[in-house]
Amino acid sequence: MINTLAQIDYLASAGRTPWHRASALSKLLLALGLVLLAVFAPSLRLLFGLYAVAWLLALTSRLPWRLTLAASCYPIAFALLFLLARWDGTVETPARLLLRPLTASLTAVWLVGTTPYPDLFAPLSRVLPRSVGDGLFLTYRAFFELVVRIGGLWRALRLRGGTSGPARRRLTQAGEGFGTLVLYGFERSQRLYATLLLRGHGGRICGCRHYADWSRFDLLVAGAGLVVAAGAALMWRMP
Amino acid sequence: MSHLHIPDGVLPVVVWGPGLLVALLLLVASARSLRGVTRQRVAYQGALGALVLAVMAVEVPLGPLEYHLALLGPVGVLLGAAATFQVAFVASAILALVGHGGLTVVGLNALVLGAGGALARPVYKLLARRFPAAGSMAGGTAVAQAVSGALWLAVVALGVRAGHPGAARLGLFAGVAFPMWIVGILVESAVAFGIARFVVRVRPDLLPAALPAGGSS
């Protein structure tokens, strides 16, 4: 998951396709529409169509297909549990149970793979309570730093024999290692607070203000939205 | 197991809709209760949220199994109920944006994770009156994990039944999920024990004080 997320994060900032240049707000609305359609669509043909549209979006954004597949197939494990519990001998039920989460996760991957996180979190932080909105930025920023530290911690545990012996001892030792990260998190928060004060922090992390800067590339997003809406209206009642 | 995030489209709207509404209401309530906290505290909350996300991505080898931690219990003890719920929501939202867990079920995922985490501190405070910090943290985490796991099972069972009452094989599902639930409680408690053992040695002030004898919350 770590490598996948890091690569998607990089592609979101480095990509130069029209999807990358469209505003975050228009892509957010298109993604939300696609996810809601996938969740509520009764027609299997429509679900196949939506999944195809999601792939088309991802591939025309030049997201590597292997990376996209790896990131978007996570729901399969969970969907399989439901598939077992709801098995009725038909093809339609498993197809629906798989296509819905796969379309939604692929759409989410397209959104994150074409939108840098400050642009993506900025509109969300405006509708969420202040501490939660700030939490989105601060958590995401700290994540990659902590992942590197956890990697180092894991290596140190292995080299010092922390991964051998009874499970209880190994887990407790791993816990002590995570304790160092708790402490690091606390010290990091003190440094970050000091930095924010020095930079004239006004009490809220707003992210960039370009998330709603409309450009001609948003016409492409609007066009895709219209095509999806028209297709959904046509196929809604199909089997 | 409680952080095996529920994806979009497998639960009926009668399950995830109210879950999203309740989560948003709790989010507003938690923001109101945290109105007076310092910016440094919000940054600390963000750092622990990142720790939760990071450990979810790390595989802990347990014989033939590979377990993914959540650490919501220790985070619950360190931050308290309101902040822990916000951490759970933020973690679920970020994961949903990368296809791990659903966007429509962010509320439910946050409720499942946050409910357990929110109980960790009261249980810790209660236990800390009689036991050392490490044992109390392990106890608080065990309760947190048990509640989160049970809620996860309840949500999934409700989803399976609400969608297809006739075809549901809940027995099979429970047979797979119950051992995972027990493993989750044991693993998270052992790790929490280690975290508290370290924190109590170097920064005991980060841990909350025990309830005074006869105290109520």
pLDDT tens track of chain A, all 239 residues?
Answer: 667 888 888 999 998 999 999 999 999 999 999 999 999 999 999 999 999 999 999 999 999 999 888 888 888 888 887 887 777 788 888 899 899 999 999 999 999 999 998 899 988 888 888 888 888 988 988 888 888 888 888 888 888 887 778 888 888 988 999 999 999 988 888 888 888 778 776 666 766 667 778 889 999 999 999 999 999 999 888 87
What ipTM, to 2 d.p.? 0.89
Residue that the structure tokens 């490490």 belong to:
B134
Please report, for residues A107, A174, A175, A209, B66, the alpha-carbon distance to residue B59 in angstroms, rounded to integers and kept in the order given.
26, 12, 14, 38, 6
Q: What does the pLDDT read at residue B216?
A: 43
Instruction: Sort out which chain B residues have CB atoms less than 8 A from A131's CB and list them.
Output: 30-31, 34, 37, 42, 45, 83, 86
User: pLDDT band at residue B163, thresholds of 50, 70 and 90?
Assistant: low
CA gap A53, A107 in Å, rounded: 9
- Chain B residues whose CB is inside 8 A of the A106 CB are 99
Does the structural domain B13-206 have CATH classification 1.10.1760.20?
A: yes
| pTM metric for this prediction | 0.91
Mutation test of the interface with chain A: which of B40, B45, B68, B98, choosing the one with the most A Cβ atoms within 10 A?
B98
pLDDT value, residue A230: 94
Q: Do B42 and A135 touch (CB under 8 A)?
A: yes
Q: Would you call B199 and A182 a contact, using CB atoms and an 8 Å cutoff? A: yes
Residue-wise pLDDT tens digits, B65-76:
777 888 999 999
Distance from CA of B214 to the nearest CA of A (A): 31
3-state secondary structure of B58: coil
Instruction: Establish, for the pair of chains A and B, how many residue pairs have beta carbons separated by less than 8 Å.
Output: 273
Band of the pLDDT at B171, cuts 50, 70, 90? confident
Interface residue B39 vs chain A (CB under 8 A): yes
Task: Annotate B57-89 with b (16+ C-beta within 10 A) or e (fewer).
Answer: bbebeeeeeebbbbbbbbbbbbbbbbbbbbbbb
Extract the runs of DSSP E, i.e. beta strands, from chain B: 60-62, 65-67
Residue B212 burial (10 A CB sphere; 0-12, 13-18, 19+): exposed
- Residue type for position A21: R
**Please, are residues B153 and B182 in contact by the beta-carbon 8 Å criterion?**
no
Query: Which residues in chain A are closer than 8 Å to B39, comparing Cβ atoms?
Result: 193, 196, 201, 203
Distance of CA A40 to the CA centre of its chain: 21
Q: How many other C-beta atoms lie within 10 A of the C-beta of residue A87?
A: 16
Query: Which sequence spans correspond to the domains of chain B?
Result: 13-206
Is the pLDDT at B196 greater than 90, yes or no?
A: yes
* pLDDT the model gives residue B217: 40
Residue A46: enclosing H or E segment and its boundaries?
helix A44-60
CB A93 within 8 A of CB A86: yes
**Are B46 and A141 in contact (CB < 8 Å)?**
yes
SS3 state of residue B66: strand
B28 to chain A: closest CA residue: A129
Give the residue from chain A lying closest to B29, CA to CA: A129
Residue B196 · residue B122 · CB < 8 Å: no
Residue type at position A171: L
B27-54 in b/e burial notation, b at 16+ Cβ within 10 A?
Answer: beebbeebeeeebbbbbbbbbbbbbbbb
